[in-house]
Structure 1
């Protein structure tokens, strides 16, 4: 959200290439730094800074200003294919690198450089690759013309012509500087008259100038002739983001709930039993409920308790040594003359228990949070990977239809179909059902999101293009946060609530999008 506003504004002032290079470099450097952070506070800080390095508003503007009007929709759709490819890459890397169960995560964390740190390093590499590639790319010629830098724009046009005619070395560029299109901006900026003005001082001055100009440019979005377009796009962005990010949280959390319910149903029940003079060594207790059971002179050594409940139980003269626990609780139980040595059985695990003359020595160090050993990341990675994979064919279909049907029509149809599809949430009562529905939903919805990205890029002139996109993208992040918070509360409620919420929100977006003006014939 922060990055979209910052880099979007800078891009309209200092140039697409320089702003995008800076954004990607911030993203990559802090992404790498995150992997080496020793504490949670430092980790969150570097993640925040890495996120600020998101240069999405610039990417669309920079790319579309190089392609012809006739092929703009198809090319931008192809660009969006690589958004989906990046999602698949991330999901695959998680599948390959990160441990797939909660217990293996805990064991892996004992290593000096655990697997999730490696995962963060690997996911930062594409940003560095993009920085290197972008370094050798020219500035957007459309931006250069907007700033009155016709000579530099001519150099870029000749360079592109040379690339496009590599098979024909004798071809000569025919366009002269006098025939270049003129700026559409009311204020021509002559701050850059030489391509050599790339020093740190100049860039710093450009940043300060951008900040000074931000509010003036921002308020243009809410003045004629852009007011109606801005408001309509803002509503569509908010509805899309609220529905999509809300469901993106609901899908994996609902799968976890289904698995948890199934797990609870299969719990072993031990009722009204007596266990005397017994030693449990190097073993594990999983998904067991002890009810009214008496433990007398029992030793638990090198034991793992995973999802174990002791309800109305009695422990007398028993010993717990080197015991690790997950989701294990003693409730309404009686404990007398027991010894706890090197365990993570902290006080919060005893709920309404009567304790007499018990001894605790050397409680296990580390995090006292109740980390669930029973988490199965394999299902999370699987669900995410399938969801990302289905976006690729959805985007490819969009690329074929974008210039034929138009942006607005695709946007409206996609959101309307997604709104109808949301009603099938009611029938989701299995993990497979959730994964299949998510795949189908993403396939339908991605076309509308892609059309929205392209429409937003084409709806505004060069001098405010990335500022407008940055503002709308930032606002959508707020809606995304609201969506994740709201849908997070829906996990334990009726499926009717996320079903009706998603359907209603996306239907509003579909109806509002019909009021937008088609942009496929707009000149940039």
Structure 2
């Protein structure tokens, strides 16, 4: 996370993917912002001043962008691991923690509740204070508290730690896509954001593979005081490693978004980032960085300083909260109003459908291990009879791995077609096909048919998510982008909580209701998304 200089002494900042020596200077004693400046590039007058899109084009496309894809992709994968790991531990953890179906619904909903709390908060901070530092903190919170949950001896403590972990996840998911998109040239943005979204599949496969390899193993079980350390607890620890490692990568290696720096009026820092992008993209070609200035936005310092210095603590808190609500008001006013209402509906429908069904796949497949459809066998052994969970049925995790791997065709299709058809078309069509596949999951009568249709749902629904990631970043200007994505992902978390609680309450008594509700909501989302504007290869504002 970036440091602020609060004294007259210089302070070094994290390197930008290379180890070049950087001089830092205090630019403003009030804000303490650090300005990067190369030791051999003193201030000079330049006649040419470029916009953000023009500056990105000047830096070219190459090694920097592929390294950025790996770093942001690993962060995206780590979020997927942390969210989806709960679904894989349900079949065994329900015995050790003595969980009913309602408790399992509450457990799967806990991380989404945390994401709802953290989504808008982190998004707002990213728009105000910078993308990179928010990513570092949110990823660290995610990994730390996710790992601590493995040692929780009681259900309520496990639930609390998963909730706090969710607060971290809520910040990293929307900010990653804002951050990544702000380095991309316009003509490659759609395909590259789609490529970034494919790392969700990688995290899904990683979580399923770890569950398959770890949870059925008996050697991972031991007693630690009052805690019976079963194999699923080791699985929880391993699932926290990606987030912690990703936080370290962003802290040590990654730069701040040049688009954010330009909007904040920090021209020298933005130029330094563009220089490093150019040097990595043209490495070995002997090219020299072209000299140019940037069309930057004005610094917004007076209002920040006024908020800090005036009034009592309660007045300052009121001022901060009032300021934090401004992006929401802007999103639902003027030309942005209609698209914001459409996205609100789409995020709710897809999140209820996807997370409501996906988080329960392992549990549903355990119930149909002897054949039939997911809703044919609703009887479940009492969670107090621990022997019902052991030995672990390995086939359940193998099937989860197959469903996770079925994301691959959808991701490849998205990368190839995003810049040709645009996100709006892919979003609508994939939601409609997802709705049909869920309806057929309810209709079929054999386990093999359920598995095939679940794979189709997985492969098609991921297209909708990838398209939504692209559309969401292109519909809002820089000063609202992270706040908007944070707000809508928060709406999605409300839907995910509702979906998981609905499954938890009804999966034993009336399984058909949540399954058919998922199908209906996906259908509604697909139709409503047709009202969105087309954003194919649009310029970021």
- TM-score normalised by structure 1 residue count: 0.70
Aligned: 1:141 with 2:252 = no
CA RMSD of aligned residues (A): 2.9
Q: Distance in 1 between matches of 2:303 and 2:183?
A: 21
Counterpart mapping for 1:299-310 below 5 A: none
1:108 correspondence with 2:218:
no
CA distance in 1, matches of 2:496, 2:402: 21
Q: Is 1:44–2:159 an aligned residue pair? A: yes
Instruction: Give the one of 220, 237, 242 matched to 2:352.
Output: 242
Contact 1:9 1:210 in 2 (8 A): no
Distance 1:261 1:521 in 2: 48
Aligned with 1:57 (options 154, 168, 174): 174
Shift of residue 21, structure 1, vs aligned partner: 0.7
Displacement after TM superposition at 1:14 (Å): 0.6
Matched, 1:220 2:335: no
1:72 aligns with 2:189: yes
Once the two structures are overlaid, the 10-residue window that deviates more, 480-489 or 238-247, is 480-489
Which structure has greater helix proportion? Answer: 2
Q: Distance in 2 between matches of 1:92 and 1:462?
A: 38
Contact 2:266 2:296 (8 Å CA) reproduced: no
1:474 to 470, 490, 507: 490
CA contact (8 A) 2:346 2:526 kept: yes
Deviates more, 1:401-410 or 1:241-250: 241-250
Alignment of 1:268-417 (within 5 A): 369-371=384-386, 373-374=388-389, 376-417=392-433
Shift of 1:116: 2.6
In the alignment, which residue of structure 2 is the partner of 1:266?
A: none
1:121 aligns with 2:137: no
Whole-angstrom CA distance in 2 between matches of 1:436 and 1:91: 17
CA distance in 1, matches of 2:295, 2:154: 54
TM-aligned CA deviation for residue 424 of structure 1: 1.5
- Inter-CA distance 254–128: structure 2 relative to 1 (3 Å threshold): closer
433, 438, 459: which is aligned to 1:422?
A: 438
CA distance in 2, matches of 1:250, 1:188: 48
| TM-score, normalised with respect to structure 2 | 0.68
Quote the Cα distance in structure 2 between the aligned partners of 1:444 and 1:19.
31
Give SS of 2:539's match. Answer: coil
For the 8 Å contact 1:249–1:487, the answer to whether it is kept is: no
Correspondence for 1:189: 300
2:303, 2:288 → 1: CA distance? 28
Give how far 1:492 is off.
Answer: 4.6
| Corresponding position of 1:30 | 145
Q: Pick from 256, 273, 285: which aligns with 2:366?
A: 256
Q: In structure 2, the residue corresponding to 1:174 is in which secondary structure? A: coil
Count how many residue pairs are aligned between Structure 1 and Structure 2.
Answer: 400
Tell me if 1:507 matches 2:507: no
Report the 3-state secondary structure (helix = DSSP H, G, I; strand = E; otherwise coil) of the residue aligned with 2:335: coil
Following superposition, the deviation at residue 426 of structure 1 comes to 3.9
Please state if 1:5 is matched with 2:5: no
For structure 2, list consecutive stretches of 5 or more residues without a partner in the other structure.
Answer: 1-115, 305-315, 373-379
Q: Is the 8 A contact 1:147 1:190 kept in 2?
A: no
| Offset at residue 120 of structure 1 (A) | 2.0
SS of match in other structure, 2:426: helix
Between the aligned partners of 2:508 and 2:155, the Cα distance in structure 1 is: 29
Contact 1:14 1:207 in 2 (8 A): no
1:433 and 1:95 map into 2 onto residues whose CA distance is 22
**Is the CA contact (8 Å cut-off) linking 2:352 and 2:495 kept in structure 1?**
yes
Q: Note the alpha carbon deviations across 1:183-210, whole angstroms, 9 max, x for none.
A: 4xxx7424899xxxxxxxxxxxx99986
CA distance in 2, matches of 1:134, 1:66: 15
Query: CA offsets, 1:5-27, max 9 Å, x none?
Result: 22111100110001111111111
- Residue 226 of structure 1 aligns to a residue whose secondary structure is helix
What is the distance in 2 between the residues matched to 1:142 and 1:469?
17
Whole-angstrom CA distance in 1 between matches of 2:255 and 2:522: 39
Deviation at 1:520, TM superposition (A): 2.4
Shift in Å at residue 123 of structure 1? Answer: 1.2
Structure 1 residues 301-342: Cα deviation after superposition (integer angstroms, max 9, x where no partner): xxxxxx9xxxxxxxxxxxxxxxxxx85xxxxxxxxxxxxxxx
For 2:187 and 2:303, the matched residues in 1 are separated by 31
Contact kept? 1:34, 1:47, Cα under 8 Å:
yes
Q: Residues 149 and 192 of structure 1 are in contact (CA less than 8 Å); yes or no, is this contact kept in structure 2? A: no
Q: Mark the CA change 1:261 to 1:83 in structure 2 (over 3 Å): closer, same or farther.
A: closer
> 1:391 touches 1:442 (CA, 8 Å); kept in 2?
yes
Task: Tell me, in whole angstroms, the C-alpha distance in 1 between the residues paired with 2:511 and 2:502.
Answer: 13
- 1:485, 1:140 → 2: CA distance? 38
Going from structure 1 to structure 2, the CA distance change for 1:426 and 1:47 (only over 3 Å counts) comes to closer
Correspondent of 1:88 among 205, 228, 231: 205
Cα contact 2:357–2:515 (8 A) shared by 1 = no
The CA deviation string for residues 35-81 of structure 1, in whole angstroms up to 9 with x for no partner, is 33344333322222111111101000000100111011111111111
Deviation at 1:225, TM superposition (A): 2.1
* Correspondence for 2:278: 161
Q: Report the Cα distance in structure 2 between the residues aligned to 1:250 and 1:490, rounded to whole angstroms.
A: 12
1:66 is paired with a residue whose SS is: coil
Q: Which has the larger radius of gyration?
A: 1
Higher strand share: 1
Which segments of 5 or more consecutive residues in structure 1 lack a partner in the other structure?
Answer: 194-205, 263-306, 308-325, 328-367
CA separation in 2, counterparts of 1:192 and 1:144? 18
Give distance in 2, aligned partners of 1:38 and 1:401. 48
The residue aligned with 1:131 is 247
